[in-house]
Structure 1
Amino acid sequence: MDIMQSVKTVLGNYANFNGRSSRAEFWWWALAYFVAYVGIYFVGGVVGVGEMLAGLLALGLLVPNIAVSVRRFHDIGKSGWWCLIFIIPLVGLIAMIFFFTKPSEGPNQFGEGPMAPVA
């Protein structure tokens, strides 16, 4: 999976909290989101509206960010409610990075793996 395919997949599943997302999909999406956020912040900063545009981007992509995070937790066999661990300062961020870097564990209660062979 490359960055464009990941962005298309995440935006295509805008509010889909079912299923699973691979590590590649999640991390390519995170990179694309970060680059877009920083780019809009700086380009908008030249005009004087960088913070507002970056805030609108963050607000507009809040649902897909949560959805891909939930699907990533599903991929490692955990409930999407584990996303709430992010509320805990610092410890939550470290825990989420740890969970998001774990490899897929094969078929689980949330379905086949995201990279399952197509028949």
Structure 2
Amino acid sequence: MLMPLKRYAEFSGRSRRKEFWSFFLLNLVVTGVLLGPIYASMIGNMAAMQTGTMDPAASPEIGTVPMALGVLGGLWALGTLIPNIAVTVRRLHDRDMSGWWYLGFIVLSIIPLIGLIAAIAYLVLMCLEGTKGPNRFGPDPKGENLGSDVFS
């Protein structure tokens, strides 16, 4: 899970699916822990306004804990932006694709219907197995220990 943080701005080489999806899971958990209470309070306030139990004119103040969690969530997002891009580029390298494809997916995601298709294509690419053996971006990350004996 922490390998992309150790390889912070390393855009060369290849990354396995395990590295990519483990880091994705780490980001999902941290974001959920940090921003979950904020979303829950927002949903609760919206529900209270719809049922009439809350006066919409009375603007509730944001508490210090949700505000601190929001700031921490923003700092986490900024701190992991470069590793997220780097692990995605290395994952594309594992598929023997240039990292510039990632920029293409980002640009295509702006276009309404094409963005949905691009998001599905991106998801499929991240789930597919990498090319076997070395490719133009480096050796196979799975095949580093193929010849070693487990018990030696």
Fold conserved (TM > 0.5)? Answer: yes
Q: CA RMSD in A?
A: 1.6
Q: Is the 8 A contact 1:86 1:96 kept in 2?
A: no
- Secondary structure of 1:105 counterpart: coil
Largest Rg, 1 or 2: 2
1:39 aligns with 2:39: no
User: What is the Cα deviation at residue 51 of structure 1?
Assistant: 3.0
Separation of aligned partners in 1, 2:70 and 2:107: 23
User: What is the Cα deviation at residue 59 of structure 1?
Assistant: 1.0
1:58-107 Cα distance to aligned partner (Å, 9 max, x none):
11100000000000000000000011113322222212101101101121
What percent identity do the matched residue pairs reach?
39
Of structures 1 and 2, the one scoring higher in RCO (CA 8 A, sep 6+) is 2
Give the alignment of 1:23-34 within 5 angstroms: 23-34=17-28
- 1:87 maps to a residue whose letter is V
1:79 aligns with 2:80: no
Which residue of 110, 119, 131 corresponds with 1:105?
Answer: 131
Aligned counterpart, 1:48: 66
Aligned counterpart, 1:95: 121
Separation of aligned partners in 2, 1:99 and 1:86: 14
Q: Is the 8 A contact 1:23 1:100 kept in 2?
A: yes
- Secondary structure of 2:120 counterpart: helix
Unpaired runs of at least 5, structure 2: 39-62, 110-115
Separation of aligned partners in 1, 2:107 and 2:73: 22
- TM-score normalised to structure 2 length: 0.68
Q: Is the 8 A contact 1:20 1:113 kept in 2?
A: yes
- TM-score normalised to structure 1 length: 0.85
Q: Is the 8 A contact 1:41 1:51 kept in 2?
A: yes
